[in-house]
Amino acid sequence: MIHVGDKEFEDQVLKSDVPVVVDFYADWCGPCRMVGPLMEQLSDEYSGKAKFVKVDTDSNPELTSKYGIMSIPTVMVFKNGTVKDTVIGVAPAPVYRQKIEGTLRA
């Protein structure tokens, strides 16, 4: 997983030729620390099919505001520059897989 900010977001996420799973998080957020390892695992599972990035909401207030992040963790799945699905809060792995698979098939 790579960390992206306001400057890299367009190239890494919006212009990506594969779906991108974006984990909006903060270092101080306990639930975010639960989602992090799961995202790492899914990143390995979907290697070559989807890209996984992390956005620190504290360091990137413009992105946080633009995408209406009100609660973290928030995981968004982007395809062709648009949000295709969102999971707010901590969810089990099958929920994330379902969102990713749905975006890959669409």
Three-state DSSP state, 25: strand
Q: What is the count of structural domains for the chain?
A: 1
pLDDT at 1: 86
Q: What is the mean pLDDT of each successive set of 10 residues along the chain, which is 106 residues long?
A: 92 96 96 95 96 96 95 97 96 96 90
pTM, two decimals, is: 0.95
Neighbours of 7 (CB within 10 A): 9
Structural domain containing residue 98:
2-105
Which residues, in sequence order, are CB contacts of 105 under 8 Å at separation 6+? none
CA distance 24 to 74: 5
72, 86 Cβ separation under 8 angstroms: no
24, 75 Cβ separation under 8 angstroms: yes
* Residues noted as catalytic: 29, 32
Q: What is the CATH number of the domain that holds 22?
A: 3.40.30.10
